[in-house]
Structure 1
């Protein structure tokens, strides 16, 4: 069986609130733990009306406190927004509170637009080598090896699992060079998936933390008892993608709309087909075919599932179906 994990964008739905989204995330984390998911990740996004995980380390603490065994972490922290010392202290604190359960995925995108990125960091780093240097500095702080000349407390000696995230071949090259596990954002940027996987495996250098490559691509799953029901549920995610791609502005996750996909102009429909290439929508049988094909294509060591569904109970049902399918593959 291929291990399976969950990426939760902690969606704020139309008519909902951040508080309700965070309560739902804790409930979903407990549900995922009971279903055998390996890890539960939330992502750093800023200035997005429909995402409640901006204060990512705080949300991780909330989710870890609601669970007992599942690994909890960031998928990811956008390191250009932060000084490595701050992240070492935050995740060192999480490790002190929840030993052996904390993952830290690192990305180099800002997770926001330029104005919000400036508000976060003030002086934006333009050096293309800054991200790799910051990753190495963060590794040194966790190792407490003295190379930085400072000690992160908490942080030094913390058992935090570092991952590199990416949607291009850059992250694959960095993860391979540092001997770190690698997760690819194929759930919304599938274009470089095959090339990134090949580069990562070809160039991987074993490290103290990882002897062989560990590749975890992301895959959208929207499952229900029938294909028709799942297709209707999927229109919430489709509306959100169309909004951000056509206007540049995120929206709160809207309720499903019957016939939405058929109402789109050809350009918008083509965009959805491209963005959501790595997606399975449908009954358990349809989901099984989609996941089996994706695992065969990528040779995934683990699959990061993600699922944006308006109704919380329908989302829990979708995850149950996905977990049951993964256990049969």
Structure 2
């Protein structure tokens, strides 16, 4: 009932909302992290020209196919090479870090690029348990995520009585988002009156439930008067559906490798995924990738609108793990054109 009432009251059309980019700085089987980071900058520069609102990077560790582990550093790289698009984290895995360090890093970024930095926070490790232990030493640190968020936000407030201050950071207006793939962060974001981004690009089955939780528990704050929700979606667009489906097999191989516990670099596309996965793996991965739009520009537009109808999100963040960089650029360009048309 809540979903239907909200949808009827706030019906949105695709051309009315903002589109943003989530980049995993993919390292392909024929490249290296340096090339991946240069490709990320090239994509950001084009995304800015095509009218995308944000360009976010995600913190992952011990993954040979993702080059954005030092997320704050990469954000600086992207922001330096662009001029207007917002740049941020989707997200910083806060339990991996001391809140003061993140406040100083993002305070520095905001000081260098005023009005363009977003700080998205997650509570997952962004890696496997052994690597998480190498990062955190104390794996219980995720249990106090709400307290960590409040400590971090306090460092951005104007000078108070606290002896410990974030310099740069103190007094700066840096938008803080909570990210999640379940209801926990949705509830917390609602209680705190913060914007919320849901990782529907890999956890689609929990999307509507989490958005309902966020909207139900939302309390107006000094940040927001009403809820603001963004959803992730895998989008691969090409001139034809056949081309798009072919390009999508790199992403599907990446998820297959994760299922098998062998994450690696992004592989070239293949003609037939059925030669690689079992029926069970195929069904599992298709469910994981349910929030995907793969096809011609018109097909992508229809699928984006359908997902918007389902979620009534305020913004959509798209990601596209495509092996060929030029094909990836074209996919984002075609998607931007289709959404505006």
Matches within 5 A, 1:47-126: 47-126=62-141
* Matching residue of 1:258: 271
Q: Report the CA distance between 1:307 and its aligned residue.
A: 0.5
Alignment deviations for residues 3-46 of structure 1 (CA, whole Å, 9 cap, x no partner): 00000000000020000000000000000000100000000000
Task: Describe the superposition over 1:95-119 as per-residue Cα deviations: whole angstroms up to 9, x where unpaired.
Answer: 0000000000000000011111111
For structure 1, list consecutive stretches of 5 or more residues without a partner in the other structure.
Answer: none
Matching residue of 2:260: 246
Q: Could you tell me which residue of structure 2 aligns to residue 305 of structure 1?
A: 318
The answer as to whether partners of 1:2 and 1:326 remain within 8 angstroms in 2 is: no
Contact 1:71–1:103 (Cα < 8 Å) also in 2:
yes
- Partner of 2:140, secondary structure, is coil
Deviations 1:256-305 (A, max 9, x none): 01112465211111011110000010001110110010001000100011
> Which structure 1 residue ranges, 4+ long, deviate > 4 Å from structure 2?
none
CA distance in 1, matches of 2:19, 2:45: 15
Q: Is the 8 A contact 2:249 2:269 kept in 1?
A: yes
Instruction: Report the equivalent of 2:29.
Output: 14
2:198, 2:241 → 1: CA distance?
27
Residues 139-148 or 34-43, more deviating: 139-148
Give TM-score scaled by structure 2 length.
0.94
Alpha-carbon contact 1:237-1:253 (below 8 Å) kept: yes
Equivalent residue number for residue 61 of structure 2 = 46
Q: Could you say which residue in structure 1 is the equivalent of 2:46?
A: 31
CA distance in 2, matches of 1:241, 1:48: 13
Q: Which runs of 5+ in 2 are unaligned?
A: 1-15
CA distance, structure 2, for counterparts of residue 274 and residue 235 of structure 1: 15
Give the TM-score normalised by the residue count of structure 1. Answer: 0.97
Give the distance between the partners of 2:300 and 2:161, measured in 1 at CA: 48
Secondary structure of 1:125's match? helix
